[in-house]
Amino acid sequence: MNKKTRILKLDSQNPEIEGIKEAAEIIRKGQLVIFPTETVYGLGADFANPEAIQRIYQIKKRPQNRPLSVHIACREDAERLVKNPPPIFYALSKAFWPGPLTVVLKTKERNIGLRLPDNKIAQELISESETFLVAPSANISGARPPVTLEEALKDLDGKVDLAIDGGRTKLTKESTVLDLSAIKPEILRQGAIEEKELKKILEQRRVLFVCTGNTCRSIMAEGLLKKRLSEKGIKNIRVLSAGVSAFPGLPPTRETIQVLQEEGIDVSDYRAKELTAEMLKSADLIFAMQEYHKDVILRRVPWIEQRVFVLGVADPIGRPLNIYQDYFNIIKKEMPKVLLRIKEIL
């Protein structure tokens, strides 16, 4: 007769650190732990331990051709597992992580499903284990996923080394699985996140203009593109701008406001934004004002080079209004090329 699985009860909001450390040590030893997420209870093992992963397949009676998703502790962990995630990944993970979304991404060796659970016990267990956790639902394959520990132990009691009781799960429904490994995203499993919620993000594209201080050129380009898109009835393009050396919160220069007002564009409420790696990674198209800005961009995120283009607009800062107007006219002349690039990604 199998020995009973030891149960460790933890507060789901403030899990006791000693209990988390104990469970993490079991994971590091290559053993298995049942733990709660916000969706269902998972059966966790060290992602880097093939023997522990094989034991999951055996216990769950899971077909070997069905891959296991990997649970991570923070968004940045994704880049440790997947090289150069696509721009849409950053938009989706920002919108739905931590939460019930599993994203399948392409790697050189194979596709991998990633999830960042919205549960303190799960997050702290992953962090304390100092590894990633393979964590399918804690049930026999084909059975109803468990939303309480009692349900998980009906089939797995005595087969698992430790089980954490964190109470009934919040959502009681599995994560939605979205495959981003192909050209066209595909929902592989409908779960807690509905298709219409995903489509709001999936159908959107992001265009980013970059200059130095984000008080003139990139604002002019952003304002003009938004106007052109509105005129064409294109609603699924999000347009942003930022500066490589911006002082966040600064307003546009007086000349920038005036030039755009003459075009029927009001940017008086705009405030400068500093360029971040997140902005670059999540943008489908990036338009730098000068080669210098492109160099800065690629030093920060080298692998996005194919998405970066140079408009060739000098800096009018500190110069008279007529120079601003001249440079704005250059941006106008470049706008058809910008729109053509956008058409290519739609």
Q: What is the pLDDT of residues 29-63, one digit of tens each?
A: 999 999 999 999 999 999 999 999 999 999 999 99
Task: Tell me: pLDDT of 118 over 80.
Answer: yes
For residues 147-171, give the mean pLDDT.
96
CATH of 204-345, one of 1.10.490.20, 3.90.78.10, 3.40.50.2300, 1.10.8.10: 3.40.50.2300
Structure-block tokens of residue 127: 């962090």
Q: What is the pLDDT of residues 173-223, one digit of tens each?
A: 999 999 999 889 999 999 999 999 999 999 999 999 999 999 999 999 999
135/156 Cα distance (integer angstroms): 14
For residues 66-76, give the mean pLDDT.
94
Task: Tell me: pLDDT of 79 over 60.
Answer: yes
Report yes or no: 112 and 309 within 8 Å, Cβ to Cβ: no
165/163 Cα distance (integer angstroms): 6
Confidence of residue 227 (pLDDT cuts 50, 70, 90): very high
Q: What is the pLDDT of residue 2?
A: 60
Residue for token pair 């705009």: 270
Task: Tell me: pLDDT of 3 over 90.
Answer: no
Homologous superfamily assigned to 6-201: DHBP synthase (3.90.870.10)
In this prediction the pTM is 0.90
Confidence of residue 108 (pLDDT cuts 50, 70, 90): confident
Task: Tell me: pLDDT of 76 over 80.
Answer: yes
Q: Where are the domains of the chain?
A: 6-201, 204-345
Give yes or no on whether 6-201 and 204-345 have one common fold: no
Cβ-based neighbours of 260, under 8 Å, separated by 6 or more: 219, 220, 223, 224, 252, 266, 267, 328
Average pLDDT, the chain: 96
Confidence of residue 1 (pLDDT cuts 50, 70, 90): very low
Task: Tell me: pLDDT of 334 over 70.
Answer: yes
Confidence of residue 141 (pLDDT cuts 50, 70, 90): very high
- Before 98, cis peptide (omega within 30)? yes
For residues 311-334, give the mean pLDDT.
97
